[in-house]
Chains A and B, each alone.
Chain A
Amino acid sequence: MVTAGIDIGHESVAVVLLHDTGPLGHATFVIAGEVGAVARCAFEQTLDRLGIERASIQRIFATGIGRENVALADGHRTPMLSHARGAHWWFPGTRTVIDVGAEGTRVMRCDAAGNLTDFALNDKCAAGSGVFLESVAEMLDVPLAEMGGLSLSGSRSVVLTSTCAVFAESEIVAEIHRGAARADILWGVHEALVAKIVATGRRVGIEPDLVLTGGVARNVGVVQALREQLRMDVAVPEHPEIAGALGAALLAREPAGAA
């Protein structure tokens, strides 16, 4: 059986095609336009790239924001359930999944079978999400992809006390004026972001094995700060940004997966 999962994020859409033996392939696209059209376009381009016929896909599930608007999907599931399933497929010992996307942080607890047992979302606040990092990258004129690595060389002398993204930006400006090194500021930013994530996670408890998913998982500074604050190993999948789409594809092949 071949299934597909489509994950509509705030800034990108991910598509995973899944065979019984594992993923056949995946792709991610930057979002531009109406959700249904974007999903269709991303799905068709993924099929083209992988050379797979539409007719061979037996079931498509959508997840993420606007999942109900993906007309080509046979059903949809919430991002929390999808990320838990995806992370558990990669790491079967997973008990906690932290997904940090562009505009939100989600913490999921799951059991040995990958069933979701509890979850928490960040409050209406940008301080624990990817857009915060994007705005900092812009402020410091550092490419987003290089933020993590650069922060690891920081001296850890900058501490951001604010839990609000807007106020944190003010603190960053003050640090720039003070002459703090970019690497030091970046480490402070990652520490502050992770503190927010950890606070969300402690509402449901964070137990090993812990898996970090979502685009922010590619930031090695965030991963390191998380390891240090939790004193726990953090597993990161090779393609953390497709965890939701993979989970949706997995859910699409489950017997109880009615639309």
Chain B
Amino acid sequence: MTPEQILEQCRDLVGQPLGAVAERWKAERPGGRVVAAYPVWTPAELVHAAGMLPLSLLGGGTSVELTHADARFQSFVCSIAKSTLELGFQDIVKGIDGFVFSNICDVARNLGSIYQRNFPGVFVEYLHLPQNSTSPGVTAYAASELRRLAAGFETAFGLTLTEAALTKAIEIYNVVRARVRALYAFRIAEPQKLSTTELYVALRATTLVPPEQAIAWLDALLDGLPRRDARPRDRLRVVIEGAFCEQPPLGLLEVLEEAGCYVVEDDLLLGWRWFTSDVPTDGDPFERLGAAYVNQSVPSSTRHEGREHRSAGLIEKVRRASATAVIFMPAKFCEPALFDYVLMKQGLERAGIPHMIVEFEEKMWTFERTRNEIETFVESMLFD
């Protein structure tokens, strides 16, 4: 298949209701289970090792009107939390057997409980990920949380999750992540051949299919994209930072490029490419996965690092991608992103890296103001 054909498939899949994606997969596998993972990181390996399909749970995007969630959340709560709850009330996630949330922020912490209370018929688990990377017991703690999640799957669904199966799952997700890293490296080298919208749609589609299918798509893209005919343009190379949980509308990503940017790095769908290198597969896989969370995670506003300044990872990302500037793109009311914004902004200013901020909401539908701001930002650097 050509990259265009794959991207068309991906776009079609991403546009489908999550419940329909789950039901279709289950129709081919009687007795199969599907577990949806709320951002940022959920160990898809565990879901896969239990013979289930992990899906990304990323809110309602532009397609869901809030008719229930607004009555249950305050007005200052981010859109993804509200629309994720709305998906449940409107039966859009019907067919999904389990939901996993984690302690990325106060809203997400409570969203898990709200789901449990409102939808008692489905399995809901809340993962307490470690927040202290320097504690001597942190790796053991992370592994114990993963074991607890695995035990929850076993009890809820009457299945067995073996260490051997988890090791195999880690191996296959290592392959997925390596392919994604290669695709990101390709975009850094030749951004004119892979737009951000295309990369995003492809990556998001890989979070809706088994890893084997994801690898097939990513391999075909890596094979076909270099043959695309596209000349580099005089554009500003930028890194997007802050959209790691709630996802921006595709129109906003398109506007970024139309306004004169090449997005060469981003933190979109960050949890699905969470590790900087392969997770080791020797020894106890729970220990290995837990240790990887502590020591091999990408920098994120939802994981307290404590060993280096918050801006260090971003500055390294800018340099590695040969970017010129950073566009902070936090979702409205996203506390982790907005708290970190101050620290990262100060770090960038010390390093002499220009930046700007564009807040978004998943249901944003008019982009003219943003286009104006980004064009001005680009012009201020290209035409000085």
Contact = CB atoms under 8 A, between A and B. Distances in A.
A78 B369 contact: no
A79 B375 CA distance: 10
B382 interface: yes
A58 interface: no
Interface stretch (A29-37, A114-122, A223-231): A114-122
Contact of A117 (B372, B373, B380): B380
B62 interface: no
Interface string A185-229: 000000000000000000000000000000000000000000000
Interface string A119-150: 10100100000000000000000000000000
Nearest to A122: B369
A168 interface: no
A77 B383 contact: yes
Nearest to B382: A256
B376 interface: yes
Contacts of B369: 121, 124
A3 to B, nearest CB: 15
B384 interface: yes
B106 interface: no
Contacts of B380: 80-81, 115-117, 119
B379 interface: yes
A246 interface: no
A79 B383 contact: no
Contacts of A77: 379, 383
Nearest to A109: B380
Contacts of B372: 78-80, 121
What DSSP secondary structure best describes chain B's contact surface?
Answer: helix
Contacts of A78: 372, 375-376, 379
> Is the interface on chain B under 10, 10 to 19, 20 to 34, or 35 or more residues?
10 to 19
A116 B378 CA distance: 11
Nearest to B378: A78
A78 B372 CA distance: 7
Interface string A218-259: 000000000000000000000000000000000100101110
A121 B373 contact: yes
B138 to A, nearest CB: 39
Contact of A81 (B234, B368, B379): B379
A251 B376 contact: no
A229 to B, nearest CB: 25
A121 B369 CA distance: 9
A81 B383 contact: yes
Nearest to A254: B383
Interface in B115-148: none
Interface in B284-316: none
A244 to B, nearest CB: 12
Contacts of B384: 113, 115-116
Contacts of A65: 368
Interface in B347-384: 368-369, 372-373, 375-376, 379-380, 382-384
A77 B382 CA distance: 11
A77 B384 CA distance: 13
Contacts of A257: 383
A254 B376 CA distance: 17
A251 B383 contact: yes
A60 B12 CA distance: 43
A121 B371 CA distance: 12
B346 to A, nearest CB: 15
Nearest to B368: A65
A121 B372 CA distance: 10
A80 B383 contact: no
Contacts of B373: 119, 121
Contact of A116 (B234, B368, B376): B376
A256 B383 contact: yes
Nearest to A79: B372
A81 B375 CA distance: 10
A113 B75 CA distance: 44
Interface string A41-85: 000000000000000000000000100000000000111110000
A254 B369 CA distance: 26
A121 B379 CA distance: 16
Nearest to B366: A124
Contacts of B379: 77-78, 80-81, 116
Contacts of A258: 234
B7 to A, nearest CB: 26
B382 A119 contact: no
Contacts of A121: 369, 372-373
A256 to B, nearest CB: 5
B231 to A, nearest CB: 15
A256 B372 CA distance: 20
A80 B376 contact: yes
A119 B376 contact: yes
A115 B380 CA distance: 7
A81 B382 CA distance: 11
Nearest to B373: A121
Nearest to B234: A258
8 contacts: A77-B383, A78-B375, A79-B372, A81-B376, A81-B383, A117-B380, A254-B383, A257-B383
Given A78-B375, A115-B384, 6 more contacts: A78-B379, A80-B379, A119-B373, A119-B376, A121-B369, A124-B369
Interchain residue pairs A-B with the least CB separation, the first 6: A116-B380, A78-B376, A80-B376, A115-B384, A78-B375, A81-B379
